[in-house]
Amino acid sequence: MQYDVIIVGGSFAGLSAALQLARARRQVLLVDAARPRNRYAAHAHGFLGQDGVPPQEIVARAREQLARYPTVAFLDDEALQAAPVDGGFELVLAAGQRVRGARLILATGMRDELPALPGLQERWGQTVLHCPYCHGYEVAGEPLGVLAAHPMSAHQALLLPDWGPTTYFTQGQYEPSPEEARHLAARGVRLERTPVVRLLGEAPALRGVALADGRQVPVHALFVASRTHMASPLAGQLGCAFDEGPLGPVIRVDELKQTTVPGVFAAGDASTPMSNATLASASGVMAGICAHRSLVMA
């Protein structure tokens, strides 16, 4: 079967795109490997109408609603390869199936790479966090830390005192500029230049960090900017251009979510350095509408 649009990725962006196309009565295939970036978080926050709801529950409810539309099909599989073919694009799935669509929406997401510090991964999404807007409220009032992993980490430390007393751990690598240091001091942020070598407490809980000189600093949540990588090779296989974001590459798109490859759209975290549930959903809406418009205009 030739679909009008194949969407790869079934989290907030992909589901939002599928809903627009379903309501336009187009034949849509949603391919999902069920490895969303937010799978480590117990709850979604800051998402209007869904605040505090587990991400898996939001996805399950959305899929249930989508299934009511007769033109939507689901494949719970991983798309391994993508290539242009006459009239559109062909995907090869992990199970060996090949599927074709006239348009392609990549909502494939990102993979996070944390600093090489023991204890971070098993706390990721619970007490080791990336976004104060997503998770700060739940840890507010407790001693907080920012583990420097990027030149923008000082900016993260500037934000955090609105949620709690903050220590900025430079790791001996990401010293704030004189201007940043003045702003951090004005915000009451404590600077710690001795590197963190170990996290304290039984994961996923966190009660503090151990420093290289033997000291311990009380910290109940640690914010860190992960390096980001494409979770899927499809955009590269298709020849899509990338832009270098502050934490890693993102697929280059225009205001209509069109990539540099005609007929291929991108949505969600893979297409923007701003990762947020609401923004991902909104970009999926735009990608779905614009993919439909491209079919009409063709």
Residue 270 has pLDDT above 80, yes or no: yes
Please state, in angstroms and as integers, the Cα–Cα distance from residue 279 to each residue in 12, 42, 192, 209, 282, following that order: 9, 19, 34, 33, 5
User: What percent of the chain is modeled with pLDDT above 90?
Assistant: 87
Set out the domains of the chain in order of their start, with CATH numbers. Answer: 2-112+227-297 (3.50.50.60), 115-224 (3.50.50.60)
Q: What is the mean pLDDT of residues 88-106?
A: 97
Secondary structure element (H or E) that encloses residue 15, with its range: helix 12-23
What's the pLDDT tens digit per position in 123-137? 999 999 999 999 999
pLDDT at 27: 98
Please state, in angstroms and as integers, the Cα–Cα distance from residue 29 to each residue in 33, 200, 218, 219, following that order: 13, 46, 49, 45
pLDDT at 143: 97
Q: What is the mean pLDDT of residues 237-257?
A: 96
pLDDT at 52: 87
Q: What is the mean pLDDT of residues 259-280?
A: 94
With contact defined as beta carbons under 8 Å apart, do 297 and 153 qualify? no
pLDDT at 151: 87
Q: What is the mean pLDDT of the chain?
A: 95
Task: Please state, in angstroms and rounded to a whole number, the distance separating the CA atoms of residues 63 and 147.
Answer: 37
In which region does residue 145 sit, left (phi positive, over 0), alpha (psi from -120 to 50) or beta (all else)?
beta
Query: Whose CA is closest to 287, among 49, 18, 47?
Result: 18
Q: What is the pTM of this model?
A: 0.93
pLDDT at 3: 98
What's the pLDDT tens digit per position in 33-87? 998 888 888 888 888 888 889 999 999 999 999 999 999 999 999 999 999 999 8
Amino acid in the structure at residue 214: G
Residue 1 has pLDDT above 80, yes or no: no
Structure tokens at 18: 């599928």
Task: Please state, in angstroms and rounded to a whole number, the distance separating the CA atoms of residues 211 and 197.
Answer: 5
What's the pLDDT tens digit per position in 156-197? 999 999 999 999 999 999 999 999 999 999 999 999 999 999
Residue 262 burial by Cβ neighbours in a 10 Å radius (0-12, 13-18, 19+): exposed
